[in-house]
Structure 1
Amino acid sequence: MESAIPPHLRCPRTLSRRIADDYQPPFPMWVARASEDLRQVVMAYLGVQFQGEEKRDRALAGLRRIVADFALEDGPDHHDLTEHRDAQGYGNLIALAYWRDPSAHRRWLSSPAVSDWWTSQDRLEDGIGYFREIVAPCVDQFETLYAFTNDFPGVGSIMNGASDAIQEHGYWGSMRDRFPLSQTDRMQPKGRLRIVAGDPHEGGRVLVEGHDALALIRSGQDWADTDGEERHLYLEEIEPTLRSGMDFLRDHGHDIGCYSNRYVRYIDLDGNPIEKSYNIGHWRSLDLLERWAESHPTHLRIFVTFFRVAAKLSKLRLYHEVSVFDAGHQTYEYVNCHPQTGMMRDAVTAPAG
């Protein structure tokens, strides 16, 4: 058993962990490991939004255009595709792309094919919406956790392998303890979400500025290989409880510090569903995410349900990744999206000048 924090990122602690050195977790879990040359990653949520099934084909065409550009020079190292319907009834297709090299991402984003398409007047006139939510945590600003050791999804897919079984899990506060930055920093938020260009209520192009220590969680489930009792347990007991909690955050997250919550289903390029899902949750702070996880009934029901059946699970693949970001490492752009989309809902208008 080893620490979730790799040796080259360990330093003398000024902030203690929540556990004693001899703590023994209740079951094994693992984290993704990267080579020491990894300094920062990019996570780009590139979305297409539509209202009404008659526009879904047009939205899928937009998603395919985004994915086609991934094949350009400096494209992402990994991506996946999802679909979900938001609280306002809009369909949303998202390509989530990961880069190991922020410089490669910048070159890709500024390449003529990508830049010209995004800035084209056609994006304002083709009857659907688009958004970019791009974040770039440094290597000490994110953590992972997996119940398996191969074929990691998400940010784990661009890392180099798996740890041995780790100590920091199975207790409240373990998420924070897995952050290398938590050794010396409480990761407290500074500032507010601000609209710095455009008006969400008028449509068009809107730019939102992030703030320091904004937190993002991706928490995933893969039931494609389950069968029999395990499949029944997931689909009839775990998933409905999970969905209830995710719907609460989608509809009432504003009251507890959750800026945006999307419970998404994997799809292929033709829009067909795949038996994988994950939650995308943006929070004002890691503290507020922890508070919901530790004390809110909607999460406690998820937690209790999982632990009640955990011993019967062998093929269900569960994982998460959590990140925090400096204000300058976040980009939130929206084109013709409804005003409750993403970071727009909770952003304040920046003062003139």
Structure 2
Amino acid sequence: MESAIDKHLKCPRTLSRRVPDEYQPPFPMWVARADEQLQQVVMGYFGVQYQGDAQREAALQAMRHIVGSFSLANGPQNHDLTHHTDNSGFDNLIVVGYWKDPAAHCRWLRSPEVNDWWASSDRLSDGLGYFREISAPRAEQFETLYAFQDNLPGVGAVMDTTSGEIEEHGYWGSMRDRFPISQTDWMMPTSELQVVAGDPAKGGRVVIMGHDNLALIRSGQDWADAEAEERSLYLDEILPTLQDGMDFLRDNGQPLGCYSNRFVRNIDLDGNFLDVSYNIGHWRSIEKLERWAESHPTHLRIFVTFFRVAAGLKKLRLYHEVSVSDAKSQVFEYINCHPQTGMLRDAQSPAS
């Protein structure tokens, strides 16, 4: 048994864990490991928004263009594609890329092929919406948790190895305890989301400034290789409960500190659904996310169901990654997106 916090990220604790040192978790779980050279990762969410079947092919072409740009120099080490329909009735395709070198990501983002396409007037006139939401947490600012040990998705795909069985899971507060920074820092948010360019109500180009310790969770489910019994377990028992919780946050999360919640289904380049899904949640803080997780009936049902089945999982793959980041390491930009998209809903406009 080992700590979720890697040895080179350990330091003397000034803030205690939620459980005693002799705590033993009820079933095995693992985390992703990176070598000491990893200083920071980049999690880039690049979206295409459209409405109705008439725009679907144009949106897919735009998505493929973004995927193609990942093949340029300094592109991400791993990516995946998703679709979801939001509660305003818009379809959204998101290309999610991960970099283990922020400087490479910066070179990619500023390359003429990428920057000129984003800055082109065509983005304002082609009838689609676009967004890019980028967070770049330092090594001490994110944690992972997997019920499996191979072919890690998401940020795990750009890490180096998988841990042995870890101690910090199976109890309320374990998510926080897996953050290296939690040894000395409460990860409290600073300021509010601010509109710094454009007007969400008018569309066009809008830039939002985030704040320190804005939290991002990706919580995933992969039933592609599951056999009949586990497929039924996921589709008939876990998914309905999960869907209820994710829909609740999507529609009612604002008072709880949830800026945006998207329950997405993975797709291929032609838009065909895969048997993989995940949630993308942006929160004001880890504390707000914890409070919902520990107290709200929708998440309690998810948690109880997972506890009941976790030890017996064979091919059903469940995981999550959670991060916080500094305001200077965040990008939230939108082009012709409806005003409920992502950070647009909760961003404060400058006083007139």
TM range (shorter): over 0.9
CA distance in 2, matches of 1:233, 1:149: 21
> Unpaired segments of 5 or more residues in structure 2?
none
Give matches, 1:331-342, under 5 Å: 331-342=331-342
Q: For residue 277 of structure 1, what is the amino acid of its counterpart?
A: S
Are 1:220 and 2:198 matched, yes or no?
A: no
Q: In the alignment, what sits opposite 1:293?
A: 293
CA distance in 2, matches of 1:176, 1:317: 22
Q: For residue 17 of structure 2, what is the amino acid of its counterpart?
A: R
Shift of 1:305: 1.9
Are 1:94 and 2:113 matched, yes or no?
A: no
Instruction: Say which is worse superposed, 306-315 or 342-351, in terms of deviation.
Output: 306-315
Q: In the alignment, what sits opposite 1:62?
A: 62
CA distance in 2, matches of 1:270, 1:149: 30
CA distance in 2, matches of 1:74, 1:351: 39
Q: In the alignment, what sits opposite 1:75?
A: 75
Q: In the alignment, what sits opposite 1:303?
A: 303
Secondary structure of the structure 2 residue equivalent to 1:108:
helix
What whole-Å deviation, never above 9, does each CA across 1:24-49 have from its counterpart, x for those lacking one? 00000000000100000000000000
CA distance in 1, matches of 2:12, 2:39: 20
Q: In the alignment, what sits opposite 1:247?
A: 247
CA distance in 1, matches of 2:186, 2:215: 13
Q: In the alignment, what sits opposite 1:112?
A: 112
Distance 1:240 1:79, change over 3 A: same
| 8 Å Cα contact 1:259/1:343 also seen in 2 | yes
Shift of 1:311: 4.2
Give matches, 1:340-351, under 5 Å: 340-351=340-351
Aligned-pair identity (%): 68
| 8 Å Cα contact 2:223/2:231 also seen in 1 | yes
CA distance in 2, matches of 1:170, 1:253: 25
Are 1:84 and 2:84 matched, yes or no?
A: yes
CA distance in 1, matches of 2:98, 2:36: 18
Q: In the alignment, what sits opposite 1:16?
A: 16
| 8 Å Cα contact 1:267/1:273 also seen in 2 | yes
| 8 Å Cα contact 1:230/1:312 also seen in 2 | no
Q: For residue 109 of structure 1, what is the amino acid of its counterpart?
A: L
Structure 1 segments (4+ residues) deviating >6 Å: none
Shift of 1:240: 0.7
Report the RMSD for the aligned CA atoms in angstroms.
0.8
CA distance in 1, matches of 2:70, 2:309: 40
Q: For residue 222 of structure 1, what is the amino acid of its counterpart?
A: D
What whole-Å deviation, never above 9, does each CA across 1:143-197 have from its counterpart, x for those lacking one? 0000011100000000001001000000000000000000000000110000000
CA distance in 1, matches of 2:311, 2:141: 32
CA distance in 2, matches of 1:252, 1:116: 37
| 8 Å Cα contact 2:27/2:311 also seen in 1 | no
CA distance in 2, matches of 1:262, 1:54: 23
| 8 Å Cα contact 2:147/2:310 also seen in 1 | no
Q: In the alignment, what sits opposite 1:282?
A: 282
Secondary structure of the structure 1 residue equivalent to 2:35:
coil
Q: In the alignment, what sits opposite 2:2?
A: 2
CA distance in 2, matches of 1:153, 1:162: 12
Equivalent pairs counted in the alignment come to: 352
